[in-house]
Structure 1
């Protein structure tokens, strides 16, 4: 989808976000107005979903441009309340090119059910989808952070774990955050994490 008057890089970022939103919606990971998606452009600009829209029915108007601090560049536009959690990741690692946040049933239920500080994933072949993993004979920890409506305060809590979360993280009763160097990789990691969380939930039920 091209937006008249916008450059090719912007239009590609918008297209990536729209397609990712539809894919996540098809899998039930962004119900109602839940979730948010962003993509960094090669020149450092950030495209992110506008606050409040359904991610399965996005169009170009549902994606806005923000600066590195999360401020919309067009007056009157409003980014997601959780924009800071996206910009935090981009600032931490310049190689990150896309960030995805979804609200799946397995992620939400497990984040409330697990009393510990993380969910451990071990022995699964699909662990190899995450950065730095080359075998199923390993264990990956997915940190759990308590939900907080004060996003700046939540970002401060998350900060201490940056660089140590190859599979992303979970916010209790809320959802997952996953990222990658580009949108296809971020989507693959999100699908991998959601599959593994579903496996953990299924095993606990058994």
Structure 2
């Protein structure tokens, strides 16, 4: 029964994220940790706006499929590596919004390795943040098709960030998470909006 409930919740979260324009075509992938240590994750190549529980499968913490006849995303290791490194992480959501993709490319081209967010009231939607005037650093890494190498780079960057809540892959999108799926969904929505605010500030400053 646990898998069925999680699969339903992942499908609902995926449809919501797609409805916001944050998962065009078949982009994005979503997962949640199961009680036995395995991971429920979206099947590769599915339209996230039409997700159903049948589009969710199970993999182990090494990313190997435990559901027969189904294939998870090539980026599965980016999910499972987070679950291995952070026992408190219960769900991971990956979006491909226009603003995250474009701003991440812009920042990397200028030699920046993180997006620093401060003085936004919405920061308080993130776990552990109680005031608008602190700083939240969202690490930025270059894209790669080598998932082993990319996951190692990501984890190295996250280790030096207090209370990491997400990261950006340049030209690719946002990974964010939470202790539960509702918390991951809230963090993802908040970060998508905060990235959009940061991009708007850059655009306005250049007028």
Could you state the TM-score of these two structures normalised by the residue count of structure 2?
0.93
In the alignment, structure 1 residue 97 sits paired with structure 2 residue 90:
yes
Deviations 1:86-121 (A, max 9, x none): 001101111111000000111011001112011111
- Structure 2 match to 1:139: 135
Q: Of residues 23, 42, 52 in structure 2, which corresponds to 1:30?
A: 23
In the alignment, structure 1 residue 125 sits paired with structure 2 residue 121:
yes
**What stretches of structure 1 of length at least 5 have no aligned partner?**
1-7
- Structure 2 match to 1:200: 198
Matches for 1:1-206 after TM superposition, within 5 Å: 8-114=1-107, 115=110, 116-163=112-159, 164=161, 166-206=164-204
By how many angstroms is 1:187 displaced? 0.6
By how many angstroms is 1:53 displaced? 0.6
Q: Over aligned residues, Cα RMSD in angstroms?
A: 1.1
**What stretches of structure 2 of length at least 5 have no aligned partner?**
none
By how many angstroms is 1:130 displaced? 1.8
Aligned residues: 199
Deviations 1:48-87 (A, max 9, x none): 0011111111122211111111100134321100000000
Runs of 4+ in 1 over 3 A off after TM superposition: none
